[in-house]
Structure 1
Amino acid sequence: MSQSVLRVLFCSAGRRAGLVERFRAAAERLDVGLEILACDMIPEQSAACLLADKSFRVPRCNDAGYPDSVLSIVREHGVDLVVPTIDPELLPLSRAAEDFAALGARLHVSPESVIEVVRDKLRTSEVLAAAGVPVPDSADHAALLANPEALGWPVFAKPGGGSSSRGLQVFQRIEEVPERFPEPMVFQKLLQGDEYTVNMFVDASGALRTVVPHMRVQVRAGEVEKGRTVRRDDLHQIAEGIVRALPELRGVACFQVLDDPALGPRVIEINARFGGGYPLADEAGATFAQWLLEEVSGRICGAHDDWRPGVWMVRYDSAVYQG
Structure 2
Amino acid sequence: MPKCDDFAFVDAMLGIVRERGVQLVVPTIDPELAPLAAAAERFEASGARVHVSPPCVIDVVRDKLKTAQVMAAAGVPVPRTVPLEAAHAYPYPIVWPMFLKPSGGSASRNAKVASSSADLPDAPEEPMILQQLLIGPEYTVNIFIDQAGVLRSAVAHRRLRIRAGEVEKGQTERDPMLRRLAEDVARALPLARGVLCFQVIVDNRIGPCVFDINARFGGGYPLVHYAGAEYTRWLLEEVAGLPSTVHDDWRAGALMLRYDAAILCG
Aligned position for 2:38: 95
AA partner of residue 122 (structure 2): E
Aligned mates of 2:233, 2:6 — CA distance in 1:
32
* 1:209 paired residue among 131, 134, 152: 152
* 1:271 paired residue among 183, 199, 214: 214
AA partner of residue 286 (structure 1): A
Aligned position for 1:78: 21
Aligned mates of 2:59, 2:217 — CA distance in 1:
17
Aligned position for 2:192: 249
2:169 is aligned with 1:226: yes
Aligned mates of 2:227, 2:178 — CA distance in 1:
17
Q: How far off its partner does 1:218 sit?
A: 0.9
Give the 5 Å matches for 1:159-174. 159-174=102-117
Q: CA contact under 8 A between 1:94 and 1:111: conserved in structure 2?
A: yes
Distance 1:214 1:161, change over 3 A: same
AA partner of residue 108 (structure 1): H
* 1:310 paired residue among 250, 253, 266: 253
Point out 4+ residue stretches in structure 1 off by more than 6 angstroms.
none
Q: How far off its partner does 1:148 sit?
A: 5.8
Aligned-pair identity in percent equals 56
TM-score for the superposition, normalised by structure 1: 0.79
* 1:126 paired residue among 20, 45, 69: 69
Q: How far off its partner does 1:318 sit?
A: 4.9
Q: CA contact under 8 A between 1:151 and 1:189: conserved in structure 2?
A: no
Q: How far off its partner does 1:178 sit?
A: 2.5
Counterpart secondary structure, 2:36: helix
Aligned mates of 2:263, 2:240 — CA distance in 1:
30
Aligned position for 1:144: 87
Aligned mates of 2:165, 2:36 — CA distance in 1:
23
Aligned position for 1:12: none
Aligned residues: 265
Q: How far off its partner does 1:246 sit?
A: 0.5
Q: CA contact under 8 A between 2:86 and 2:92: conserved in structure 1?
A: no
Any stretches of 5+ residues in structure 1 without a counterpart?
A: 1-57
AA partner of residue 155 (structure 1): M
Distance 1:299 1:151, change over 3 A: farther
Aligned position for 1:112: 55
AA partner of residue 204 (structure 2): P
* More displaced stretch, 118-127 vs 220-229: 220-229
AA partner of residue 164 (structure 1): A
Aligned position for 2:135: 192
AA partner of residue 189 (structure 2): L
RMSD (CA atoms): 1.6
Q: CA contact under 8 A between 1:138 and 1:151: conserved in structure 2?
A: no
Aligned position for 1:291: 234
Q: CA contact under 8 A between 1:155 and 1:190: conserved in structure 2?
A: yes
Any stretches of 5+ residues in structure 2 without a counterpart?
A: none
Counterpart secondary structure, 2:88: helix
Q: How far off its partner does 1:74 sit?
A: 0.5
Distance 1:62 1:148, change over 3 A: farther
Aligned mates of 2:262, 2:153 — CA distance in 1:
32
